[in-house]
Amino acid sequence: MLGTFQNSHLRIEIKRDAIAIGDSLLKSQQLQQWLWPQSFSSGMPEQLHPGVSFTSSLGPVAIQHQVDTVGPNCLRLLLSQGIDGFHEWYWGDGWVQSRLEGVSLLPLNLAQTLCLLRLQQFLSRPIDSSPQPQN
């Protein structure tokens, strides 16, 4: 793979509990919402689990993701194509931490920072607790 080895470790505060943060990282529908405008391969399961593979794309750059580990407060993805490396996520009540390492031509620290800011923005939206109309 062409590129340089890069690593980045970031941690941010998010005013949500660990369950909400974990759902946004592990539930495919939520993941696709906050990572927009990235597109994802079809056929992703409702929730990520070890062994799941999917591809995300932003313009002409595609990144293959292989779910390696899922725990109550962690997620590890093995990456290939646009990035050869891994992306680890850890979270708890009020915080999320991301560790990204790999060889790539992409500016990984910038991409990781934007990704975390999008997640923070997604989780900062008001929680709709109003009852839904029944049909």
Q: How many domains does the chain have?
A: 1
Is residue 135 in a domain? no
- Nearest residue to 44 via CA among 34, 60, 57, 31: 31
Determine contact, residues 15/99, Cβ cutoff 8 Å: no
pLDDT > 90 fraction of the chain, expressed in percent and rounded: 76
Q: Is the peptide bond before 60 cis (omega within 30 degrees of 0)?
A: no
Is residue 47 in a domain? yes
How does 31-51 read in b/e, with b if 16+ C-beta sit within 10 Å?
beebbeebebeeebeeebeee
- pTM, whole model, 2 decimals? 0.88
Domain that holds residue 43: 4-123
pLDDT tens column, 48-86 = 999 999 999 988 889 999 999 999 999 999 999 999 999
H or E segment to which residue 35 belongs: none
Is residue 133 in a domain? no
